[in-house]
Amino acid sequence: MSDWKVAEAAQPKREHYSYDLDAVLASMVGIRSVIPEDAFTAETLGTERAGHGVLIGKGLVLTIGYLITEAERIWLTLSDGRVVEGHALAYDYESGFGLVQVLAKIDLPFVPIGQSARARVGDAVVLAGAGGRACSVASQVVAKQEFAGYWEYVLDEAIFTEPAHPNWGGTAMIGSKGELLGIGSLQLEQSRGKGHVNMIVPIDLLVPVLDDLMRLGRPDRPARPWLGVFATEVEDQVVVVGVAERGPAHRADLRTGDVILAVDDNEVSDLADFYRAMWALGNAGVEVPLTVFRDGDTFDVTINSTDRTKLLKVPRIH
């Protein structure tokens, strides 16, 4: 991550902002995680992951959770040039946020938490990355709308920004007052060749659970049911594109190409419908009845859901 830079034309210029841009960017950290080869997420997310995080309190770094899931070692590159170790403190699967505790004494600024609900389409923002202005993008909000991901994930109102940050994972979306409004999660291609946008997880989802995350490592609420299904939408149908090994869907013999028609006799036509119908059945462990179409046949199958955290390695402090 130390060798790349954002194109100069896309970099934020300090004179364009009323706050101290360089002071805010000094709160960014680089994150490098090492994950065991036998970890549940190693095959899909890799055993070495790199991205960004932002200091939101003394020694507390907010990032996107997939960077630190099952990490056995986390190294943080600070804006003062030091490389220190971190500990994976928490992961909220519903929002996607992850927290890292810095395992060293540091005296660096942190970014105040803002209110993402106040962000409006057209607002100028900065997508901040570790490495200062050369690794950040002057961007703007282009949409606020529902987002459903193939990994059993829904945001009621995600934020989308353009131009996109080329190294988006864990970037901080900074508002007009130098406040934190969200964390970068994805880069998505727009339709008809209109370029790329970043999907940002709104910071308002963090505030209600932050104390729980610091105290318990996860929100103090029952886990949602999880099947381990990777799915997409094709012509108003939910189509399975893969299943997680050792997951409930794999054990129930759900297959790539299966079309999920209904959950508990309720028809579903998109990912958000599918996930919400499943989550409405109860907490993790509940049985999830599905109606499935495969090779010309329609059949019912009941899958015993689980709490996905039971399959993950627990982080250890070194």
Q: What would the pLDDT profile of 56-105 be if each residue is shown by its tens digit?
A: 999 999 999 999 999 999 999 999 999 999 999 999 999 999 999 999 99
Concatenate the DSSP letters of all residues of 56-75 into one string.
EETTEEEEEGGGTTT-SEEE
Residue 193's pLDDT is what?
64
Opening angle at CA 32, ends 28 and 37, nearest 5: 155
By C-alpha distance, which of 76, 163, 81, 77 is closest to 127? 163
**Mind listing the pLDDT tens digit for each residue in 133-191?**
999 999 999 999 999 999 999 999 999 999 999 999 999 999 999 999 999 999 999 86
What are the backbone angles phi and psi of residue 69, rounded to the nearest 5°? -60, 125
Which of 1.10.10.10, 3.40.50.10680, 2.30.180.10, 2.40.10.10 would CATH assign to domain 116-205?
Answer: 2.40.10.10
Handedness of CA 284, 212, 25, 12 (dihedral sign): positive
Place of tokens 């209110």: 115
Domain boundaries, the chain: 19-110+209-216, 116-205, 229-311
What are the backbone angles phi and psi of residue 308, rounded to the nearest 5°? -60, -25
Least reliable range by pLDDT among 1-5, 113-117, 181-185, 248-252: 1-5
Residue 318's pLDDT is what?
54
Confidence at 4, pLDDT banded by 50, 70, 90:
confident
Alpha carbon distance, N-terminus to C-terminus of the chain:
24
**Mean pLDDT within 303-308:** 97
> For the domain bounded by 19-110+209-216, which CATH number is listed?
2.40.10.10
The number of beta carbons lying within 10 Å of the beta carbon of residue 17 is 18
What is d(CA 195, CA 189) in angstroms, rounded to the nearest whole number? 6
Please state, in angstroms and as integers, the Cα–Cα distance from residue 196 to each residue in 103, 162, 258, following that order: 36, 7, 30
What are the backbone angles phi and psi of residue 214, rounded to the nearest 5°? -70, -30
CB 219, CB 65: distance < 8 Å: no
What SS3 state is found at 313?
coil
**Partners of 303 in the beta sheet?**
288
Number of helices (H) and strands (E) in the chain: give both, helices first: 5, 18
Opening angle at CA 84, ends 57 and 2, nearest 5: 100
**Mind listing the pLDDT tens digit for each residue in 258-289?**
999 999 999 999 999 999 999 999 999 999 99
Which of 2.30.42.10, 3.30.450.20, 1.20.200.10, 1.10.3720.10 would CATH assign to domain 229-311?
Answer: 2.30.42.10
**For the chain, the helix, strand and coil percentages under 3-state DSSP, each to the nearest 5:** 20, 40, 40
Cβ-based burial of 35 (10 A; exposed 0-12, middle 13-18, buried ≥19): buried
One fold for both 19-110+209-216 and 116-205? yes
